[in-house]
Amino acid sequence: MKRKDFGCGPGCPVEVTLDLIDGKWKGVILYHLQEGRLRFGELRKRLPGITQRMLTKQLRALEEDDLITRKVYAEVPPRVDYELSETGLRLRPVIDALKAWGEDHRARLEGKKAKSQSGNTTRQARQPQPA
């Protein structure tokens, strides 16, 4: 995959990292591979919204960027396993931080929604009833 030539300004390291895990699926794939080696079909089951073509494309990009390794077994039918490379393993704290932030953010949104809904029922109850 062709990568940008980053001029190293103040945000350069962040830009480099985000360029490697950009998009909807790469971070999620890396998250699932933290559990260990997975086959293509197992990854597909864990990502129900992804097409086979997109999963293949994302896995190839991650492999090209040396974030995962792909091992093909000489069997019939062929078996292919994916796992984090050494470079990919070094992303674990980043993926874990993204997960923690996402959980916290989702909880905050649900809290705001619940608070908003309880406020609406309180306001409705206070309105005068027609005689």
pLDDT tens digits along 114-127: 888 887 655 555 56
Lowest mean pLDDT among 55-59, 65-69, 97-101, 112-116: 112-116
Q: Is a pLDDT exceeding 50 seen at residue 1?
A: no
Per the CB < 8 A criterion, the answer to whether 59 and 33 are in contact is no
Work out the number of other CB atoms within 10 angstroms of the CB of residue 44: 15
Alpha helix (H) residue ranges in 38-91? 40-46, 52-64, 86-89
What pLDDT sits at residue 115?
A: 84
Between 99 and 13, whose confidence is greater?
A: 99
Taking a C-beta distance cutoff of 8 angstroms, is the pair 52, 44 a contact?
Answer: yes
Report how far residue 126's alpha carbon sits from residue 33's, in angstroms, rounded to the nearest whole number. 53
Position 72 pLDDT exceeds 80: yes
Is the model's pLDDT at 46 over the cut of 60?
Answer: yes
pTM (predicted TM-score): 0.77
Mean pLDDT calculated for residue range 50-62? 96
For the residues 4-32, what does the mean pLDDT come to? 82
